């Protein structure tokens, strides 16, 4: 059992190294990042857990990746380019 936990921890650590820093934030703070960017590219995905839909968003700004999830759709503004993904997976 201990070996499986160690392997999972190592896999998460490797994923973090491969993807770089990911900043998790509240939806309103995420929107402020998107609104600040000149031509934001936002990747979106939805997930369903226990019948509840969650909307997930990730964008990059000044070299960092910003991520949020919300129980409602976010108004990203008309200037954001949206890319719909099947899933967004964040390590940890």
**Boundaries of every domain in the chain:** 21-84
Which helix or strand (DSSP H or E) is residue 12 part of?
A: helix 2-19
CATH of 21-84, one of 3.10.20.30, 1.10.1050.10, 3.50.50.60, 3.30.720.90: 3.30.720.90
Q: What is 23-36 written as a DSSP string? A: EE--HHHHHHHHHH
Residue 17 has pLDDT above 90, yes or no: no
pLDDT beyond 80 at 5? no
pTM given for the model: 0.78
- Range scoring the smallest mean pLDDT among 12-21, 28-37, 54-63, 77-86: 12-21
What is d(CA 79, CA 92) in angstroms, rounded to the nearest whole number?
31
Which two tokens mark 77? 């503004």
Q: Which two tokens stand for residue 46?
A: 């939805």
């Amino acid at each position: 059992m201990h070996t499986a936990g160690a392997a999972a921890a190592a896999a998460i650590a490797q994923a973090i190294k491969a993807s770089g820093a990911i900043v998790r934030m509240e939806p309103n703070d995420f929107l402020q990042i998107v609104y600040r960017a000149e031509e934001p590219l936002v990747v979106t995905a939805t997930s369903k857990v226990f019948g509840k839909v969650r909307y997930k968003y990730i964008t990059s700004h000044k070299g960092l990746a910003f991520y949020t999830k919300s129980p409602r759709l976010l108004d990203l503004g008309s200037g954001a380019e949206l890319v719909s993904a099947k899933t967004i997976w964040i390590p940890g």
